[in-house]
Amino acid sequence: MIPEYLVPVIWAGLYLLLAPVAGGLIAGIDRKVTARMQGRVGPPLLQPFYDVAKLFEKENLVVTASQNFFVLSYLVFMAVAGALFFSGGDMLLVIFAFTLSHIFLVLGAYASYSPYSHIGAERELLQIIAYEPMIILTAVGMYMVTRSFFVSAIVTSDIPVILYLPGVFIGYLIVLTIKLRKSPFDLSTSHHAHQELVKGVTTDFGGPNLGKIEIAHWYEYVFLLGVVWLFFAWNPVIAVMAIVIAYFLEILIDNTFARVKWQLMIRSAWIIAGTLGLVNLGVLYYLRMVGVP
């Protein structure tokens, strides 16, 4: 029998060990499905792992020495955010670590002297401004339904959260497109080479540092899809189906829409997603006030 106080530690450890594997496989599946949608065969499923392994074989060339610190901090705080999430921690603390990790990525891009890197950093900041309010609204909605910010309490709740937060869920899917760096909101950088002449926020990263950034992205994939799980945690089978459908929709959108300007991204995240979330929370608050369970 495992002591109760060790359970969060075990879940955090499993995330730290297995999330890069799962995230790399998700990236491989993404490439395969994208290729099929475009009438191509696509790379091998394990190609993301080959790419990262090749990056770590290269010399670590940096524009400024501080980039090493910023990239490592980005990876560490992304891993910490996911570990806190999967260990059942406070959602607000998770969001703080998650946002801080991206700030370090932005600082790493600003440490370069390239104008392309600076533009990528500015667009990354715009993306943070766009998605952050909806991420917070998601946590607030979870609290209003389950009366707890702790992931452990939300997961073990028998309440079908999605029935209470459909607007929040749709809003989260909209900003998920931004977070997965998919068209039409892949403004700061893209994972698809055919869409890039220069790589935006990652322009001046290469070798092991770029490999660390890719691993951080794999951690991020698992964390973001874990939030989708929370909406359906009362039924694990439905939760898995929801994650698969949600990610397929993100790939479909990525291959259907062209990149838009940052102004439209902000409006989509604030006006459309934000309005859906706020109206949903407002209705939920009213129903609680009038005594509807």
- The single-letter DSSP state of residue 197 is S
Per-residue confidence band for 189, with pLDDT thresholds at 50, 70 and 90: confident
Q: Where are the domains positioned within the chain?
A: 4-289
Does the pLDDT of residue 292 top 70, yes or no?
Answer: no
Does the pLDDT of residue 216 top 70, yes or no?
Answer: yes
Does the pLDDT of residue 196 top 60, yes or no?
Answer: no
CB-CB contact of 285 with 279 (8 Å): no
Range of 128-142, 180-194, 254-268 with top mean pLDDT: 128-142
Cis-peptide, bond into residue 44, ω within 30° of zero = no
Lowest mean pLDDT among 180-184, 193-197, 231-235: 193-197
Per-residue confidence band for 63, with pLDDT thresholds at 50, 70 and 90: confident
pLDDT for the residue numbered 57: 93
* Cα–Cα distance, 132 to 178 (Å, whole number): 11
- The single-letter DSSP state of residue 200 is G
For the segment 13-41, the average pLDDT, to the nearest whole number, is 94
- CA neighbours closer than 13 Å in the CB half-sphere of residue 185: 26
Per the rule left: phi > 0, alpha: psi between -120 and 50, beta: everything else, 200 is left
Per-residue confidence band for 133, with pLDDT thresholds at 50, 70 and 90: very high
The model's pLDDT over 102-112, given as tens digits with 9 standing for 90+, comes to 999 999 999 98
Per-residue confidence band for 19, with pLDDT thresholds at 50, 70 and 90: very high
pLDDT for the residue numbered 113: 84
CB-CB contact of 125 with 106 (8 Å): yes
Paired residues of 150 in beta bridges? 90
Higher pLDDT, 216 or 259: 216
Does the pLDDT of residue 197 top 90, yes or no?
Answer: no
Does the pLDDT of residue 8 top 90, yes or no?
Answer: no
| Mean pLDDT for the chain overall | 91
pLDDT for the residue numbered 192: 62
Does the pLDDT of residue 225 top 90, yes or no?
Answer: yes
* Cα–Cα distance, 40 to 177 (Å, whole number): 23
Task: Collect all residues with Cβ–Cβ distance below 8 Å to 161 and sequence separation of at least 6.
Answer: 141, 142, 145, 146, 154, 230, 231, 232, 233, 234
- How far from chain centre, in Å, is Cα 96? 13
Task: Collect all residues with Cβ–Cβ distance below 8 Å to 80 and sequence separation of at least 6.
Answer: 97, 101
* pTM of structure: 0.94
pLDDT for the residue numbered 125: 93
Rg (CA), the chain: 19
The model's pLDDT over 134-146, given as tens digits with 9 standing for 90+, comes to 999 999 999 999 9
Percent above pLDDT 70 for the chain: 96
